[in-house]
Structure 1
Amino acid sequence: MLTRSGRLTAVFAVVMLVAGTGADYPELVAFGVAATVALVVAVLSMLVKPSLDADRVIRPDRATEGERAQALLTVRNLGRMRTPPLSVVESINGEAFTVDVPSLAAGRSYDHRYSLPTQRRGRYEIPPVEIGHSDSLRLLRSSARKGTASVLVVHPLTHHLGVVPRGGPRDSEGLTSSVSALGGVAFHSLREYEHGDDYRLIHWRSTARAGKLMVRHHVIPDEPRQLVVLDVAAGSYPDGRFEDAVRTAASLVRAACRAGLPLELRTTEASPDQLRAADQWVDDELPALDRLADVALSEEDGGIADQLADVVSSTEGVSLVVVTGQPPAGRLDVITALRPRFLTVGLVTFGSPQPSSAGTVLVDARNSADFAVQWNELMSR
Structure 2
Amino acid sequence: MRRRLTGRGVAVLVAAVPLLVFGQWGGYPLLRALGAVALVAVLAAVAVTARGLGVEVRRAVYPDRVERGSAALARLRVRNPGQRRQAAFLATDGIGGQAQTVSVRALAPGAEATYHYELPTGARGRHPVGPLTLHRADPFGLAVNRKPTGETSDLWVHPRQLPARVLVSGHPRHHHDGARTDDALRGSIDLQDVREYVPGDEVRHVHWKATARTGRLMVRDLVDPEQPRFTLLLDTRAGSLSPAGFEEAADVAASLLVASARAGHPSRLVTAGGLDLPTPGGLPATRQLLDELCQATQAPADALVPPALSARGGAGGCLVLVSSARAEPPALTWLRDRFDTIFLVALEGPGPRMAAAPGARVLLAADAVQAVRLWNEVAG
Alignment TM-score, normalising by the size of structure 1: 0.78
Relative to structure 1, the CA distance from residue 125 to residue 356 in structure 2 (aligned partners, 3 Å threshold; closer, same or farther) is closer
User: Counterpart in 2 of 1:60?
Assistant: 63
Q: What is the aligned-residue RMSD (CA, Å)?
A: 3.1
CA, structure 1 residues 356+121, in 2 after alignment: closer, same or farther (shift >3 Å)?
closer
Matching residue of 1:268? 272
Once the two structures are superposed, the pairs formed by residues 225-236 of structure 1 within 5 Å of their partners are 225-236=229-240
Q: Tell me the SS of whatever aligns to 1:79.
A: coil
Deviations 1:79-112 (CA, angstroms, capped at 9, x unpaired): 2211121011222221224221111112222221
C-alpha change, 1:19 and 1:65, in structure 2 (3 Å) is same
In the other structure, the counterpart of 1:324 is 323
Alignment of structure 1 residues 230-249 onto 2, 5 Å: 230-237=234-241, 241-249=245-253
Aligned residue identity for 1:257: A
Compared CA separation, residues 184 and 102, structure 1 to 2 (3 A)? closer
Find the counterpart in structure 1 of residue 6 from structure 2: 3
Whether the 8 Å contact between 2:24 and 2:32 is mirrored in structure 1 is: yes
State the match for 2:334 in structure 1. 337
Aligned partners of 2:66 and 2:156 also within 8 Å: yes
Letter in 2 for 1:315: G
**Across the two proteins, how many residue pairs are aligned to each other?**
337
Post-superposition Cα deviations, 1:147-198, rounded to whole Å, max 9, x if no partner, equal 1112111111122122224235489xx9945886899778xxxxxxxxxxxx
2:305 equivalent in structure 1:
304
TM-score norm. by structure 2 comes to 0.78
Please tell me whether the aligned partners of residues 127 and 148 of structure 1 are also in contact (alpha carbons under 8 angstroms). Answer: yes
What letter matches 1:156 in structure 2?
Answer: P
Partner of 2:379: 379
Residues 300-334 of structure 1, C-alpha deviations (whole Å, 9 max, x = no match): 44531423123xx23343432111113543x512x
Residue 348 in structure 1 maps to residue 345 in structure 2: yes
Provide the identity percentage.
32
Deviations 1:110-156 (A, max 9, x none): 22111122233222212221101134654311101111112111111
Report the equivalent of 2:228.
224
Q: CA deviation at 1:372?
A: 1.5
Q: Which residue of 1 aligns with 2:113?
A: 110
Work out whether residues 170 and 226 of structure 2, in 8 Å CA contact, stay in contact via their aligned partners in 1. no
Match of 2:203 in 1: none
1:5 CA drift (Å): 4.2
Match of 1:266, SS?
A: strand
**Distance of aligned partners of 1:362 and 1:182 in 2 relative to their CA distance in 1, 3 Å threshold:** closer
Deviation, structure 1 residue 249: 0.8
Once the 2 structures are TM-superposed, how far is the Cα of residue 268 of structure 1 from its aligned partner?
0.8
Q: Render the CA deviation track for 1:25-56: whole Å, top value 9, x for unaligned.
A: 24432432343233334334433313122221
Is 1:31 matched with 2:28? no
Amino acid at match of 1:229: L
Q: Which has the larger radius of gyration?
A: 1
> Which amino acid counterpart does residue 28 of structure 2 have in structure 1?
Y
Deviation at 1:14, TM superposition (A): 1.0
TM-superposed deviation, 1:222: 4.8
Alignment of 1:98-177 (within 5 A): 98-135=101-138, 138-169=141-172, 176-177=180-181
What CA distance in whole angstroms lies between the structure 1 residues aligned with 2:185 and 2:325?
Answer: 41
Aligned to 2:279: 281
CA offset at residue 2 of structure 1?
1.3
Alignment check: 8 A CA contact 1:90 1:98 kept: yes
* Distance 1:318-1:66 versus aligned 2 partners, 3 A rule: same
Question: Over residues 212-253 of structure 1, what are the superposed CA-to-partner deviations in whole Å (9 max), with x where a residue is unaligned?
Answer: xxxxxx974352322211011234226952222111111111
Change (3 A) 1:136 1:251: closer
Q: Is the 8 A contact 2:183 2:314 kept in 1?
A: no
Helix, strand or coil: the match of 2:21? helix
Q: Secondary structure at the match of 1:237?
A: coil
In structure 2, relative to structure 1, the CA distance for the partners of 1:157 and 1:376 (3 Å cut) is: same
Q: Cα gap change, 1:303/1:162 in structure 2, threshold over 3 Å: closer, same or farther?
A: closer
Q: Are the equivalent residues in 1 in contact too, given 2:187–2:227 (CA < 8 A)?
A: no
Alpha-carbon spacing, 1:17–1:146, altered in 2? closer, same or farther (3 Å): same
Q: What's 1:295 paired with? A: 296
Q: Which runs of 5+ in 2 are unaligned?
A: 191-221
Partner Cα separation in structure 2 for residue 368 and residue 296 of structure 1? 17
